[in-house]
Amino acid sequence: MSVVTHIRLLHVASDPSDHHAVRSALTDRQIQWDLLVCQAAGQVLDRLIGNPPDIDLILCDNVGLQKSGIAVFQEIRQSRVMIPFVILLGVGTEDLAVEALKAGVDDYIMKDPAGAYLTLLPVVLREAVQVYQDRLAWKASERAMQKSFDELEIRVRGQAEEVSRVKQVLQEEMKVRQGVEESLLQCERQLRQAQKMEAIGTLAGGIAHDFNNILSSILGYAELALMNAAQTSLIHTYLNEVITAATRARELVRQILAFSRTTEQERQSVDLPQIVSEALRLLRPVLPANIDIRQSGISGNKGCLIHADPTQIHQVLMNLCTNAEAALRKQGGVLEIAVTTEDIKEPVMHGGTQLAPGHYIRLTVSDSGEGMDPKILDRIFDPFFTTKSLGEGTGIGLAVVHSIVLGHGGAVAAASAPGLGSRFDVLLPCLYMSKPLAFDDEGSLPTGKGMVLFVDDEESIARWGEQLLTYLGYDVVFETCAQKALELFRRQPFQYDIVVTDQTMPVMTGEMFAREILAIRKDIPIVLCTGYSHAMSLEKSKAMGIRAFLMKPVKAQQLAMTLKEIIATEDNRNVSDPVL
């Protein structure tokens, strides 16, 4: 199949500056680009119906025209013009991306205001044309082969044996070609599904942020009301039920986020037993009732940290459990997940990988299924090797597990025998055993003194922070605008003892706000709160000089304890380093 070297592109957009931007982006030296433009949706069909062969690809804006880009695409297809079509969508319209792909659009590009999408434009457009032309070449090849077969059959009629042999060879080759084309179509479907899941994951993140703000208000004000309710009253009981339900909702949001993560995150300190607990909560409702899930060592090893990408570690566990579920699907059985720690005193081989001495955490996933014979076991981590029926497995799940584990400095080994089930042991380097703060939800809230600047763009959360901290003995200034809060701090930077800020805010994020604050006064303690953000992590916040990183919705006990510890640390520092 030939490589695309010349593309005639029809760009449909109402703004001439968009045409200029696209023309400037098409600088690929390997391809000659001819750019034709349309500024009105009604001109597109007229341009195509006249002589469609002179257009290789259509790039269409979804907004600014008399009709949407999706509507333009549907009109073109109804006119039986089958030219590749790529649509430009605005950031935050992932639902339209899913709708466009369902309609049959070849691809889409998110048009960000900064213009970063222009760097992706030549690659995406070239790929769309290449896939389309490859498909046409396959069909032309099949037609040519069929024609050759028909002509050959006519020429050699009477020589039955030779014709039969040639026919069989051609039929077998056609089956092979058909299988290749089906594989290509399956890969295309999987790619589209991956793009849909990416859009869903992004959408889930946005929903989680808004939902966490709602939960913050519900949980925060319920806790404030509980402080003023008599413990023997019905109101106290009712408020406890509200707090319990809101806490469950908070955990549900975290589970949804864990499931919907689609992009690789930067590595950070990760509590592996905590990830196992989250995955088990997701797995239990979807596994068949005849599979008994057992766990051991998870609660006892919480706080054992590894340096990892939490999304990839979650993927390792889900892939191993999915593999075990497939082995137990017919007859049922036991799926067991165990977490233990061990010290390796000298170099040791594990699953063909040498591990250096050190402290490791072991994740074991085992099942009581049919097991595997040695020949299958030897190839279990090979890419695209699968024992499942056609259409049931891709053969990449365990290969991905192997790749991720090795990439994290660990090793994975498999053990199995016919009739004895299977077992997978993952060893990952353990950073250290961390003992997180224990918050006593039923105890009294610790009080404190000092001036707190509390910033959150949700007014209900900001007022909750003011009321809670005032109740605890602090002096509080609250703001819903980070820029106004920055101006307040700039006027009197030494008036405040601590700053509490949200991360996801319009115009100026919590990260940007914190950098400005620290540039004015580098010793000011800052507490950063976030419900969902790819841009900020615990390690990144600490590197910036932020003292504490809290996940929303923040409970009253958690915030009170955090401020108390920070203030105590500051007091000890002032005593040990007196100003002369």
252-282: pLDDT as tens digits: 676 566 555 544 455 677 788 888 887 888 7
Q: What is the pTM of this model?
A: 0.42
| Tens digit of each residue's pLDDT (9 = 90 or more) over 464-491 | 999 999 999 999 999 999 999 999 999 9
Q: How far apart (Å, rounded) are the C-alpha atoms in residues 396 and 404?
A: 12
CA–CA separation, 106 and 121 (whole Å): 14
Ordered by where they begin, the domains of the chain are 6-155 (3.40.50.2300), 268-433 (3.30.565.10), 451-576 (3.40.50.2300)
Write out the two tokens for 427: 């060893």
Of 470, 482, 478, give the one whose Cα is nearest residue 506. Answer: 482
- Please compute, for residue 48, the number of CA atoms within 13 A of its CA located in the half-sphere on the CB side: 27
Measured distance between the N- and C-terminal CA atoms of the chain, rounded to whole angstroms: 80
The DSSP 8-state label assigned to residue 63 in this structure reads S
Express each pLDDT in 366-387 by its tens digit.
Answer: 999 888 888 888 877 776 666 6
The whole-angstrom separation of Cα 332 and Cα 326 is 10
- Rounded Cα–Cα distance for residues 530 and 202 (Å): 16
The more confident residue out of 260 and 182 is 182
Within 10 angstroms of residue 36's Cβ, the number of other Cβ atoms is 14
Instruction: For the chain, give the mean pLDDT.
Output: 81
Two tokens, residue 261: 């993560």
Whether the Cβ atoms of residue 213 and residue 246 lie closer than 8 Å to each other: no
- Output the CA–CA distances (angstroms, integers) from residue 402 to 310, 368, 381, 397, in the order listed: 16, 22, 7, 9
- Looking at residues 187-209, what average pLDDT do you find? 67
Greater confidence, 368 or 216? 368
Task: List the one residue out of 331, 309, 287, 503 whose CA is nearest residue 408.
Answer: 309
Distance between CA atoms of residues 249 and 211, nearest Å: 9
Cα–Cα dist 516/486, whole Å: 8
Read off the pLDDT of each residue in 89-105 and give the average, rounded to a whole number: 86
Question: Looking at residues 329-346, what average pLDDT do you find?
Answer: 88
Order of strands, sheet of 358-367, starting from the edge strand that comes earlier in the sequence: 291-296, 333-344, 358-367, 422-429, 411-416
Closest CA to 455 of 417, 488, 495, 500: 500
Instruction: Phi first, then psi: give them for residue 274, nearest 5 degrees.
Output: -65, -40
In the sheet with 475-479, reading across from the earlier edge strand, the strands are 475-479, 451-455, 498-502, 526-530, 548-551
What's the pLDDT at 237? 85
What distance in Å separates the CA atoms of residue 314 and residue 259, rounded to the nearest whole number?
8
Which residues is 518 bridged to in the sheet?
Answer: none
**For the chain, what's the residue count?**
580
CB contact burial 436-459 (16+ within 10 A = b; e otherwise): eeeeeeeeebbebebebbbbbbbe
The predicted pLDDT at position 525 comes to 94
Token representation of residue 578: 């007196």
Q: 3-class DSSP state for residue 449? A: coil
Residue 288 exposure: Cα atoms within 13 Å on the Cβ side: 15
The pLDDT value recorded for residue 496 is 94
Rounded distance, CA 413 to CA 425, Å? 5
Cis peptide leading into 553, omega within 30 of 0?
yes
> Mean pLDDT highest for which of 194-203, 347-356, 511-520, 561-570?
511-520
Contact (Cβ atoms closer than 8 angstroms) between residue 27 and residue 53 = no
Which of 281, 420, 426, 289 is CA-nearest to residue 351? 426
The answer, yes or no, to whether residue 504 has pLDDT greater than 90, is no
Asked if residue 271 lies in contact with residue 254, where contact means CB atoms within 8 angstroms, the answer is no
Give residue-wise pLDDT tens across range 298-316: 766 665 778 887 778 888 8
**Phi then psi for 6, rounded to 5 degrees?**
-140, 120
